[in-house]
Amino acid sequence: MKAFPAWERFSMLSLLAMSLHRNVKFHAIYDNGKFCGITYYAENDNTVYLTYLAVSEKLRGHGYGSKILTVLEDQFPDKQIVIDIEPVTKKAKNYKQRVSRLKFYERNGFHRTDQKLKDPDGEFEALTTGKKLDKNSFIKTLRQMSFGFYQAKVEK
């Protein structure tokens, strides 16, 4: 609950309902029985959209986030993994946190695209591990995971 601001979180009921889709995975991550965090992602033929990667607040900075991303990259070597982050703008109240988040993902093989994910809650910058963001595949993944209800736009 502390990893994402309230306005960025889907309700637990929504997450559970969307996880009924065969291409959506909701995992709790453990290390020797110790809860470390969660991943929530949707997959299609070319894209894995990592909606949530959250590491327990007590364990941040211990390499768990990087290890989780490595496992995902190893599991899906031929697919682009896409995430979205708050845009890194100097006017943002949490500018330093946004820069830190971007650097974390860049260290872990993601790169910036010129695409934004826009929905009623705001605008997010899309990052990917692919050479270039496959926008159509990403949009297809968004629609599949929400059974067509989530109508975000992906644009420059």
Q: Which two tokens stand for residue 148?
A: 């067509």
The Cα 70–Cα 110 span in angstroms is: 11
Whether residue 31 is contained in a domain is answered as: yes
In a domain, 141, yes or no: yes
Return the ∠ at Cα 36 (arms to 33 and 37), rounded to 5°: 130
Please tell me the total count of domains within the chain: 1
Answer whether residue 145 is part of any domain.
yes
Whether residue 85 is contained in a domain is answered as yes
CB 16 within 8 A of CB 26: yes
Report whether pLDDT(152) > 80.
no
How would residue 13 be classed by pLDDT, with cut points 50, 70 and 90?
Answer: low
| Residue 149 counted as domain residue | yes
- Segment 12-37 shows an average pLDDT of 78
**30-41, pLDDT tens digit by residue?**
999 999 988 989
The answer as to whether 137 is a domain residue is yes
Examine the pLDDT at 3 and tell me if it is beyond 60.
no
Of the given ranges (15-24, 52-61, 119-128), which has the lowest mean pLDDT? Answer: 15-24
Average pLDDT over residues 141-153: 73
CATH code assigned at 97: 3.40.630.30
Sheet containing 111-119: give its strands across.
Answer: 24-31, 34-43, 47-55, 80-85, 122-128, 111-119, 153-155
Residue 1, in any domain of the structure: no
Tokens 């809650």 belong to residue: 121
Question: Using one digit for the tens of pLDDT, what is the confidence trace for 39-86?
Answer: 989 999 999 999 889 898 889 889 999 999 999 999 999 999 999 999
C-alpha–C-alpha distance, residues 112 and 85, integer Å: 10
pLDDT of res. 12:
54
Domain that includes residue 134, residue range: 6-155
